[in-house]
Structure 1
Amino acid sequence: MVNSSLTYEILLYLNSFYFGLFAFCEFGMGIFKAINLPYPTGILATEFSILFFLCCNESTRIFLASKGNLTRRVATILKSVGLTVPSVLGVVYLLVWQTYILRLEVILCGIQLTFQALETLLALFCLASFSKSGSF
């Protein structure tokens, strides 16, 4: 039987590096689009602020999930699962509702959404495992 806690921690570790790459590429593509494409007034600042919010939220989510998993704290993992909702909405904004969407952004956002979905699924498995063992 595979320990879901270990699998969850490995996935969080990989996502911490992937999200750094994701954020760097998104900022770079945002600068590229700002220089080369005509934006309506105020939209560019809004898109960069959403990306900044996503970076802060996703970093906090990954930190809380890792800390909750290592200390076997149900409340901390629940907080990280709750922070998944705004993170998913931020990535979906970058994937669907941006003014200009590049093909590379579609690929990167798809991978990020896959990470988030798998982490949420494994977080639920860990929550069930931790609550059975009495770790609160």
Structure 2
Amino acid sequence: MVDASLSYEILMYLDSFYFGLLALVELGVFSYKMVKLGHRYNATWIMWDVGFLLGTLFLETIRIILGRQGSLSKHSWQVIVSVILIFPCMAGIWYLIYIQKTNIYLEIVLCSLELLLQCVQLFYAAIFSVTACQNRNSYY
């Protein structure tokens, strides 16, 4: 059987690098939009987009730190908080894909991969939380 804790830790480690790359690319894309698409991309939309990106970046950082600490120390409460925080993070990525006024294909592809990675993390976090909450003293 696959060790859910190890799989979850690997996914969290991968996501820590991938989300950092995604945030840097998104900031670059926002500056590109401000320069090239200034006539269609006004300051109100820029503030909404940057606000959602920064909020998602903050929550995703907290989620990754809690998830990695929880999976390494076998504390299920940190993983459960990480699982709860994944839903607002997924909503922020969903905003960047579908609700944003102007999208570039690079954004759509990178954000879709992040959303897929978060869905897989959610699956393994649920398995890890169930196995971590079971009684460790009982033998089958």
TM range (shorter): over 0.9
TM-score when scaled to structure 1? 0.95
Alignment map for 1:72-111 (pairs within 5 Å): 72-111=74-113
What is the deviation of 1:40? 3.0
Q: How many residues align?
A: 135
Q: Secondary structure at the match of 1:86?
A: helix
Work out the CA distance in 2 between the residues paired with 1:110 and 1:51.
Answer: 15
Q: Secondary structure at the match of 1:42?
A: helix
Larger radius of gyration: 2
TM-score when scaled to structure 2? 0.92
Q: Give the structure 1 partner of residue 133 of structure 2.
A: 131
Alignment map for 1:1-136 (pairs within 5 Å): 1-37=1-37, 38=39, 39-134=41-136
Identity %: 33
Give the RMSD, CA atoms, in angstroms.
1.3
What is the deviation of 1:107? 0.4
Which range is displaced more, 64-73 or 126-135? 126-135
Q: Which runs of 5+ in 2 are unaligned?
A: none
Q: Secondary structure at the match of 1:55?
A: helix
Letter aligned with residue 101 of structure 2: T
What is the deviation of 1:46? 1.6
Work out the CA distance in 2 between the residues paired with 1:68 and 1:7.
Answer: 13
Q: Which runs of 5+ in 1 are unaligned?
A: none
